[in-house]
Structure 1
């Protein structure tokens, strides 16, 4: 995953949502179809995709997909 577009594609593919790049800045409560179960599914998909752990506690505090993307791609 090398770009926000790749991340959006992963979200759509793995979670069955229809989001675009503009949606990543929205509060998670404003993302159509979002729920807490999807957060765990996304975390698992991100770890599989990146090959490394994503900081779970920080992901739980994230208020939008952009922050989750940043946490998943930080070095």
Structure 2
């Protein structure tokens, strides 16, 4: 999964009005972000990658980039 695919997931499946520039921002700067988006995003990422995503790691993430890195690390 590329960062562009990740942004498309955020926009098309999660419904967030984000761009590639938003992924490095702190969560409080991401338009319309809330904790329900986090749970939905983890579910979608697990489906898309076919692997579990570590919730403890995700809960420590400070940005969408951090979540992307967690979901795509080998």
Task: Name the count of aligned residue pairs.
Answer: 74
Structure 1 residues 64-73 or 14-23, which shifts more? 14-23
2:5 aligned partner: 6
C-alpha displacement of 1:13: 1.2
Poorly superposed stretches of 4+, deviation over 2 Å: none
**Deviation of residue 69 (structure 1)?**
0.2
Show the counterpart of 1:44. Answer: 43
* Partner Cα distance (1:43, 1:34) in 2: 14
Question: Distance in 1 between the 2:20 and 2:64 partners?
Answer: 10
Structure 1 regions of 5+ residues with no counterpart?
none
Structure 2: stretches of 5+ with no match in the other structure: none
Distance 1:60 1:44 in 2: 14
Query: Which residue of structure 2 aligns with residue 23 of structure 1?
Result: 22
Partner of 2:72: 73
Alignment correspondent of 1:63: 62
